[in-house]
Amino acid sequence: MGAKVVTITSGKGGVGKTTTTANLAVALASLGYKVTCMDSDIGLRNLDVVLGLENRIVYDLVDVVEGRCRIRQAMIRDKKFPELYLIPAAQTRDKSAVSPSDMIRLCDELKPDMDWVIIDSPAGIERGFKNAIAPADVVLVITNPEVSAVRDADRIIGLIEAEQKGPAHLIINRLNPALVKKGDMLTAEDVVNLLAIDLLGIVPEDENVVASTNRGTPIVLETHSKAGQAFMNIAKRLNGDEIPLMNLDGKGNIFSIFGKRTK
């Protein structure tokens, strides 16, 4: 038995790939699994700051690929979970420094010692994306309920299928139930129907995410936050647990309308 490799991608930038990677990695570590997350966005690394590990970097992904260090030396141990590691991207190089076969080799080396390897893909459909999905057992597509993000998600889903890595699973991030209720945001159902792939989870828009990113402590550790709960649920579903979708229904029934009024 080796680790399962999960790649998180989106097509469009800024929809929450890195936030999702960090939160799923921390969630799985908190459930007691051995997790390595890998930032494959070479030249634009960010998973280190989202996890709050930026000050500990010595070696990076490209150092491993080019043989300047062993993979263990590039694995940064998390502050809170001793079995959660980060392999950071190189900041001064570009995507061509790594090939899809390098990524497969690296993951093969990690697999025997880990339960999960989670790869944060760069935005776009070029080399960086191909690198990120090459070793994947499972591909998760992140989108926002918004026209350009959904369009790009559809493109990337097609490319994942073309690379024989499908079917991808969908995470809808930053759904705003109040906007859905007003009729000014696509519903989760709309997005699932348009993209026609399996839904793994919905993360509501939550301003606490900004604060948690500021601090470098993923929101999944804040059990009172809706986004944190949503990420934890997604991690459990990824693990094969059957967890019902959280009730974020923007439309709501008569009781939820009264409930909202009293707030």
Q: Which residues bind other proteins (CB under 8 A)?
A: 146-147, 150-151, 154-155, 157-158, 161, 180-187, 190, 194, 196-197
Q: Which residue lies nearer to other proteins by CB, 77 or 182?
A: 182
What's the CA gap between 222 and 195, in Å, rounded?
31
The closest alpha carbon to 114, from 227, 237, 226, 2, belongs to: 2
Q: Which residue lies nearer to other proteins by CB, 28 or 197?
A: 197
The least CB distance from residue 184 to other proteins, in Å, is 5
Residue 100: CA count within 13 A, CB half-sphere: 10
Q: Which residue lies nearer to other proteins by CB, 82 or 167?
A: 167
Q: Which residue lies nearer to other proteins by CB, 182 or 215?
A: 182
The closest alpha carbon to 209, from 196, 194, 193, 221, belongs to: 221
The least CB distance from residue 251 to other proteins, in Å, is 11
Q: Which residue lies nearer to other proteins by CB, 61 or 157?
A: 157
The least CB distance from residue 139 to other proteins, in Å, is 14
First to last CA, the chain: 50
Tokens representing 168? 């991808």
Q: What does residue 176 show for φ and ψ, rounded to 5 degrees?
A: -110, 100
Convert 46-76 into a string of H (helix), E (strand) and C (coil).
Answer: CHHHHCCCHHHCCCCHHHHHCCCCCHHHHCE
Q: Which residue lies nearer to other proteins by CB, 86 or 180?
A: 180
The least CB distance from residue 169 to other proteins, in Å, is 14
Residue type, 33: Y
Do the strands 84-87 and 76-77 form a parallel or antiparallel pair, or are they unpaired?
antiparallel
The least CB distance from residue 181 to other proteins, in Å, is 7
Q: Which residue lies nearer to other proteins by CB, 50 or 123?
A: 123
The least CB distance from residue 23 to other proteins, in Å, is 27
What's the CA gap between 107 and 99, in Å, rounded?
13
The least CB distance from residue 149 to other proteins, in Å, is 10
Do the strands 116-120 and 169-175 form a parallel or antiparallel pair, or are they unpaired?
unpaired
